[in-house]
Amino acid sequence: MRILVTGGAGFIGSYYVRTLVSGGYPAFAGARVTVLDRLTYAGNPANLEPVSDGYEFVHGDICDAELLAEVVPGHDVVVNFAAESHVDRSIDGAAAFVRTNVLGTQTLMQACLDAGVSKVVQVSTDEVYGSIESGSWDEEAPLRPRSPYSASKAGADLVAQAYGVTHGLPVSITRCGNNYGPHQFPEKLVPLFITRLMEGRKVPLYGDGGNIRDWVHVSDHCSGIQLVVERGAPGEIYHIAGTAELTNKELTGRLLEAFGCGWDMVAYVEDRKGHDRRYSLNDAKLRGLGYRPSIGFGDGLKHTIAWYVENREWWSPLLGAR
């Protein structure tokens, strides 16, 4: 068994690779793993150091068709984590998001088709649906992205689906809520707030703090992806829901409490343009395959905070890039 993981040096991709290589997914024990990553600001080789001898690394771009024509053949499974993913950055400049997320996905799907890959999983996001006032989206919900980032991910999903319908490429799509956990680049809310509080700096809270997100630990997300790799049907979409729906203000309160800080450490800032109010996924379909999240939000957040406290040498050099 040979597995290609694109974007495997990033936050979520590296967690998947570390688990895969260390035998955390028994059905794929002994698999040969290739990691392809462009190593942009959020791709960090240090994320893979614990399993440095267990995979082959290729430094490259999923938009590079010639490179993919060399790398993809011979792999049985391709899991695509490669993406530009920060909404704020997409608002400031959308071109890189369209290039990597849409063109990159198309280039990768073509390479998989040409190489006869037997299983492809496209890793996506709940943000492609826009905002939902109540209830939860199922996999048949219409795509209504409201940011350049989410629009580029919706485009990537549609490209992947088109390759399945038109060419019969065996591709499945996963969509997940907000991730948190170790090795997350400190521009996202949880590590941003943790590292700022560790430095005695105020944390920036958008608008009234009432935006609601569904939080899932990266371990549970990756377990859901692996379940789709092993049991997911081609052409199907699978939701991976979290264990806590919280307003940003509620999450901020938990982080303040963890550091013994008061609300004087919060700086309310102008709301983000087009800020989606609420995300929520129905994951009954994946649960039908046996998925169960195993990390409660309280424990997961506690362990995440501890990791950043104990690994300042990992995140401190990254602060200038956020």
Residues with catalytic function: 126-127, 149
What are the CB-based long-range contacts (under 8 Å, 24+) for 190-195?
Answer: 190/251, 190/255, 190/301, 190/304, 191/304, 191/308, 191/315, 192/322, 193/252, 193/255, 194/255, 194/304, 194/305, 194/308, 194/309, 195/308, 195/315, 195/319
> What are 106's two structure tokens?
């198309």
Single out the residue of 20, 45, 35, 69 nearest to residue 223, CA to CA: 20
Whether the Cβ atoms of residue 60 and residue 34 lie closer than 8 Å to each other: no
Cα–Cα distance, 209 to 43 (Å, whole number): 29
How would you classify the pairing of strands 171-176 and 56-59? unpaired
Nearest alpha-carbon partner for 186 in 176, 164, 208, 201: 201
Distance CA 3, CA 81 (A): 13
3-state class (DSSP) for residue 173: strand
**Radius of gyration, alpha carbons of the chain:** 19
How many angstroms separate the CA atoms of 85 and 82, rounded?
Answer: 9
In terms of Cβ atoms closer than 10 Å to its own Cβ (0-12, 13-18, 19+), residue 283 is: buried
